[in-house]
Amino acid sequence: MPLLGRTQSAELELPAHQCPWTDGPRVVRPLGVFVATLAVRAGQWSGVAVFPTLPEMKTLLRSLGVCLLLGAGVAAGEPSGEESCQEPCGARTRQLAGHTYVFPILQQSAFVTSHVGIREGLALYHIPDVPVNDLQPLDVTLTGIQQTLDLSLSITDWLGVAGYGRATIITGTNADGLLSSGATVDLLGQVGGVVRLLRSERSGTQVSVRANFGYDKGREITLLPLINAIIETPQVTVGDLINGSLGQFLFVPSEETTANGGVYAAQTLGRMFSLQGSVLAEYAWQKRKPFDRFVGNRFEQKTHAVRFFFALAAALDLYPTTSVPVAVMGEYLFRTGRQEEFGRPDRTLKDSSLGLSVYYSGRANLQLGLGAVTVLNGEPQQGYGDEGSQRSSGAPTLSYGQLILRYIW
């Protein structure tokens, strides 16, 4: 009985034994073949009480050396389950039916993930026809910077918590911009939870619900009310502006507390394509504290707002089929609702946002890219017309770009 003939396979298939990491029969490597064959030969030798000859011993030693080399190569080429899972395991929470999803800019996702991310952005804000007393209306252009830090932690594969913090500073680019709209400093935080309702690898569908609480605190820096007060007090001096009550017109503190909840869905359309959508409802409690020049103190204005958001995002990832590590995403967001105005009729909200982003998709646990968003038909800004009457500007346009970096583990 030869050990290994030239036409014999270097592997033996043992159907009776199942391997823990596969669903098929166990495959025995060359070292196992050698041991099994050696045992058979030992039985033959013991049965006939004959020791192996010198040529047979040489053959056995050569076979042992070859088997040890082959076994070492196989062991080196097959990493353990834990090692081979390092990068994919960190991203499997955002993979569905063979497709790796990209987190959108204009909405949250349906996935329960653990990740940390930062977003650095530059904004351009254009406001047409801003009323400035009895002067000709101005077209104002503002610029700003924005920094966002977001964190998400998955408690189980279907339950997680998430939150983010954002700081935004917008200032006028010229004297007209600073005079009409001033500068705004805004701090925003939000925290909430996500619960996965459905996940189907077969259909490539996932559905989740999210609920969040947010707090927005800012301070508007507006020069226009101050100018109106100066006009009505012609004897004012520079010292009065710095030390007196007129300086209070420069700063208008504002706060907003929000509660929202929505349904989020993701659908895989092959290895390259995917869709994400959401429907969100939000209620806001708002406070604003302008300065009353007659009373000589600030007074509080309380308003409320009800908002509804409808978002859709489509993504194309070239990496799975072309090995080009580029993913492209297009987004659309529509917002509507009702905004209560202090001392004026309520206003209907109606604006749209368009987004386009490009990402590096070569690593499944890393999201790195650039995104751009344009907000159309934004909320008009309030100004002063003739004799101090309040008037609204034209519909503003907000455009901003972001550098996005997220790590998923």
Q: Which tens digits make up the pLDDT trace of 102-146?
A: 999 999 999 999 999 999 999 888 878 877 666 677 777 878 888
Where would I find the H helices in 78-116? 81-84, 86-91
The arithmetic mean of pLDDT across residues 40-55, rounded, is 52
Query: What is the domain count for the chain?
Result: 2
- 58 with 195, same domain: the answer is no
In this prediction, residue 75 carries a pLDDT of 41
Model pLDDT for residues 24-39, shown as the tens digit of each residue:
444 444 444 444 454 4
Class of residue 221 by CB neighbours under 10 A (exposed 0-12, middle 13-18, buried 19+): middle
The arithmetic mean of pLDDT across residues 156-184, rounded, is 76
Model pLDDT for residues 330-345, shown as the tens digit of each residue:
999 999 999 998 877 8
- 321 with 204, same domain: the answer is yes
CATH code of the domain covering residue 344: 2.40.128.130
The arithmetic mean of pLDDT across residues 275-303, rounded, is 89
Domain edge (last residue) among 60, 78, 96: 78
The arithmetic mean of pLDDT across residues 190-194, rounded, is 98
Query: What is the pLDDT confidence band of residue 169, given thresholds at 50, 70 and 90?
Result: confident
Higher pLDDT, 17 or 109: 109
How far is 379 from 32, CA to CA, in rounded Å?
75
- 320 with 355, same domain: the answer is yes
The arithmetic mean of pLDDT across residues 36-65, rounded, is 55
Is position 334 within any domain? Answer: yes
Residues of the chain above pLDDT 70, percent: 64
Block residue for tokens 């077209």: 139
Nearest partner of 267 among 253, 278, 280, 281, judged by Cα: 278
In this prediction, residue 229 carries a pLDDT of 62
**Per-residue pLDDT for 174 more than 70?**
no
Model pLDDT for residues 345-366, shown as the tens digit of each residue:
888 999 999 999 999 999 989 9
In this prediction, residue 191 carries a pLDDT of 98
Mean predicted lDDT score pLDDT of the chain:
78
Q: Of 22-26, 76-80, 217-221, 403-407, where does the model show the most confidence?
A: 403-407
- 20 with 57, same domain: the answer is yes
Say which amino acid occupies 175: A
- How many of the other CB atoms lie within 10 Å of CB of 371? 21
Calculate the CA dihedral of residues 123, 338, 263, 359 and round it to 10 degrees: -10
- 74 with 95, same domain: the answer is no
Is position 4 within any domain? Answer: no
How far is 88 from 79, CA to CA, in rounded Å?
14
In this prediction, residue 353 carries a pLDDT of 95
The arithmetic mean of pLDDT across residues 180-205, rounded, is 88
Q: What is the pTM of this model?
A: 0.72
How far is 86 from 122, CA to CA, in rounded Å?
35
**Domain membership of residue 44 as a residue range:** 12-78
Give SS3 for 17. strand
- 253 with 195, same domain: the answer is yes
- 350 with 302, same domain: the answer is yes
- 19 with 122, same domain: the answer is no
